[in-house]
Amino acid sequence: MAPVAAPEKPEVKVETKPTGIEQKIQELETMRVQVKLGGGEDKIAKQHEAGKLTARERIARLADPDSFQEIGMFAKHRASLFGMAKKDIPADGVVTGVATIDGRLVHLASQDFTALGGAVGEVHADKIVEMMNLSLKTGSPFVIVNDSGGARIQEGIDALAGYGRIFYNNVMLSGTVPQISLICGPCAGGAVYSPALTDFIIQTKQAQMFITGPSVIKQVTGEVVTPDQLGGAAAHMTQSGNVHFVAENDEDAIYITRRILSFLPSNNLEDPPRLDFDGNLESDPAVNKIIPDDPKQAYDVRNVIAQLVDRGDLLEIQSGYAQNIVIGLARIAGCTVGVIANQPCVMAGVLDINASDKAARFIRFCNAFNIPLLTLADVPGFLPGVAQEYGGIIRHGAKMLFAYSAATVPKITVVLRKAYGGAYLAMCSRDLGADRVIAWPTAEIAVMGAEGAAEIVFRKEINEAEDKAAKRKELIEKYRSAFATPYVSAARRLVDDIIEPAETRRYLAMALDALHAKRELRPPKKHGLMPL
Ligand code: HXC
């Protein structure tokens, strides 16, 4: 008898109902997806059409992969007036949390314009403030992406108070942890004061920033101006000096943020990160030829900086503002330095109101975060003129004297060529506490230029001479050879050494090493009075 096949086991379908916890996890997941959609697909599409990333896309690009931990995802506003009771604003319009950027802990807030225009309400503000507090407690930088219609009008004075708390905490963080503001969308009204209280503002070309917009200005003063003319990135870089970097778009702003952070310590108690260094301290002998033989001829000081710093890499700050002075972050033998250099190819490198403000602020920043100062002097003086005097050049120029004198970080000054009068002192002379002052053989350190000095000292002799022009020339040369050299200053120990330009990079690396452990104490006080 043939064997009988065993009957097939019927498939038993078991209805598996999600258990209590599984159901709750599903609900949680649905809610997370909902919150992550922000204001919804339409608003996200609109954001992209405007050439902007969403708040979460910005964070995803800023943070190292999988490093972002969101804090406060399910936060909700408590407002009830003007239809707010029924309004659901995902994450209350701001994504906040902690991440690493190139391996370093950073606290982040990114305003979500798709969620009620990223407007700032009470809870929104408190989420930002919480990140700031965590930055302070953990000694980590704070980065905020601004893209907001300003105070949430429906929340009235609660929104205003929220801004107040943000400003207050900006000041608490100032000088303790680095703060960076990215302006990637509208930033109007009092909202602008939070970025203004941070260390660096990066504005994209898609963003605008102003206290009062074009329509209010038209009503009050009659002036007609477009939003971009008034508060676009170019206007702030070239006219107001409010921004430190102009970014092509969000991606570029994020790249600049990462680059700034790479130079900085996480807080004021740490030294800046020291990078591996390839050991090459040679300058190109071409550096010997950068300064033209004619002392009146201009050159671009950025060519000098490129020869002195690692890989010629300078992160120039405010490159489009007060271009008669160049400031930026760079490295020498792997150590971060803040570079401050007169720019002879713009207005002969004179110091004026804007250049003084630009440099003084940067010196303060470097000092707060333990970044040594490298000053390159080639300065004919302070800019003469009624507008400068009425504009307060006395007060503004004094900021440089104040900032340099108050700075306790290592201070190294290289006199490249001219260093005249008060401007010589303002470019961190020995008397303002420079730890090292070195000069190139081309340096002319004097109370004023030889031409001007000769006119004053030898006026009688020149006027009485038969050939006045020849006499003037002769006496200018006499004055120049007596004073306009670095050797007079070196003899008085106002200059530590005179070196061949090509040796400068090596000299600086050794001096920075020697000064690394510098500690300088100042008399205890609440604070000095920076001439503001
Ligand atoms: C509440 C706001 C808002 C705000 C925008 N929205 N700003 N909601 N309070 N301040 C909402 C809009 O109603 C809209 O909601 C959504 O955000 C997107 O705004 P749109 O106008 O559709 O976008 P767009 O055309 O791109 O214009 C963006 C804008 C404009 C230029 C920013 O929204 C605007 O002018 N907003 C008002 C700006 C302002 O005056 N702020 C100052 C507030 S007082 P729906 O539901 O339609 O999506 C202030 C003082 C602070 O800030 C002082 C601190 C010291």
191 in contact with ligand 1, CB cutoff 6 A: yes
Atom of ligand 1 nearest to the CA of 39: 48
117 is catalytic: no
HSE-up (13 A, CA, CB side) for residue 387: 4
Specify the residue with its C-alpha closest to ligand 1, atom 54: 190
422 is catalytic: yes
188 in contact with ligand 1, CB cutoff 6 A: yes
Cβ atoms of residues 401 and 425 within 8 Å: yes
189 is catalytic: yes
Render pLDDT for 195-249 as a digit per residue (tens, 0 to 9). Answer: 999 999 999 999 999 999 899 999 999 999 999 999 999 999 999 999 999 999 9
- Residues contacting residue 156 through CB under 8 Å, at least 6 positions apart: none
Q: What is the distance in A from the centroid of ligand 1 to the CA of 118?
A: 8
Q: What is the distance in A from the centroid of ligand 1 to the CA of 249?
A: 21
ipTM of the complex, rounded to two decimals: 0.97
The residue annotated as part of the active site, out of 175, 422, 433, 452, is 422
163 in contact with ligand 1, CB cutoff 6 A: yes
CB atoms within 10 A of CB 61: 15
- Residue 1 scores a pLDDT above 60: no
116 in contact with ligand 1, CB cutoff 6 A: yes
Report the percentage of the chain scoring pLDDT > 70. 99
Specify the residue with its C-alpha closest to ligand 1, atom 24: 117
Least confident of 4-13, 244-253, 508-517: 4-13
Q: Would you list the DSSP string of 149-210?
A: -SB-GGGHHHHHHHHHHHHHHHHHHTTTS-EEEEE-SEEEGGGGHHHHTSSEEEEETT-EEE
The residue annotated as part of the active site, out of 139, 156, 190, 241, is 190
Cβ atoms of residues 409 and 370 within 8 Å: yes
Q: What is the distance in A from the centroid of ligand 1 to the CA of 269?
A: 40
Specify the residue with its C-alpha closest to ligand 1, atom 23: 117
- Residues contacting residue 186 through CB under 8 Å, at least 6 positions apart: 113, 117, 147, 148, 149, 150, 207, 208
Render pLDDT for 461-486 as a digit per residue (tens, 0 to 9). Answer: 888 888 888 888 888 888 888 877 89
**Interior angle at CA 245, CA 201 and CA 309, nearest 5:** 115
Render pLDDT for 310-326 as a digit per residue (tens, 0 to 9). Answer: 999 999 999 999 999 99
Give CA separation, 41 vs 34, 162, 376, in Å. Answer: 11, 29, 53
Give the residue-averaged pLDDT of 379-398: 96
d(CA 144, CA 287): 41
Q: What is the pLDDT of residue 349?
A: 97
The residue annotated as part of the active site, out of 117, 150, 189, 328, is 189
- Residue of 321, 313, 396 lying closest to 353 (CA atoms): 396
210 in contact with ligand 1, CB cutoff 6 A: no
Mutate-to-test residue for ligand 1 from 82, 113, 116, highest number of ligand atoms within 8 A of CB? 116
Predicted model pTM: 0.93
84 in contact with ligand 1, CB cutoff 6 A: no
CA 428 to chain centre: 21
Residue with tokens 């120039």: 316
190 is catalytic: yes
Domains, in order of start, for the chain: 33-263 (3.90.226.10), 285-449+484-515 (3.90.226.10)
Give CA separation, 529 vs 161, 248, 380, 389, in Å. Answer: 29, 38, 28, 21
pLDDT band at 109 (very low <50, low <70, confident <90, very high): very high
